[in-house]
């Protein structure tokens, strides 16, 4: 997962279906982690 994100270099990352979304910010630097909330719309730029 880390290698894929480093190759793609996304501006934002939406961790879904994970028990520990905070781990993404430790593994992948220079990316905004957007934590989805149930019932809230996410606008993608």
Residue 9 covered by a domain: yes
Q: Which domain holds residue 11?
A: 2-33
Residue 39 covered by a domain: no
| Domain count of the fold of the chain | 1
Residue 41 covered by a domain: no
Whether 23 has a pLDDT exceeding 80, the answer reads yes
Beta bridge pairs of residue 43: none
Residue 15 covered by a domain: yes
pLDDT at 25: 81
pLDDT at 1: 79
Residue 44 covered by a domain: no
Residue 18 covered by a domain: yes
Residue 24 covered by a domain: yes
Q: How confident is the model at residue 40 (pLDDT cuts 50, 70, 90)?
A: very high
Q: How confident is the model at residue 39 (pLDDT cuts 50, 70, 90)?
A: very high
Query: Rounded to two decimals, what is the model's pTM?
Result: 0.64
Composition of the chain by helix, strand, coil, percent to 5: 30, 10, 60
Residue 17 covered by a domain: yes
Left if phi > 0, otherwise alpha if psi is -120 to 50, otherwise beta: which for 34?
A: beta
């Amino acid at each position: 997962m880390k290698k894929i994100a480093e190759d793609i270099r996304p501006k934002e990352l939406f961790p879904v279906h994970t028990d520990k979304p905070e781990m993404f910010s430790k593994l992948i630097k220079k990316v905004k982690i957007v934590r989805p909330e149930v019932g809230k719309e996410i606008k993608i730029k």
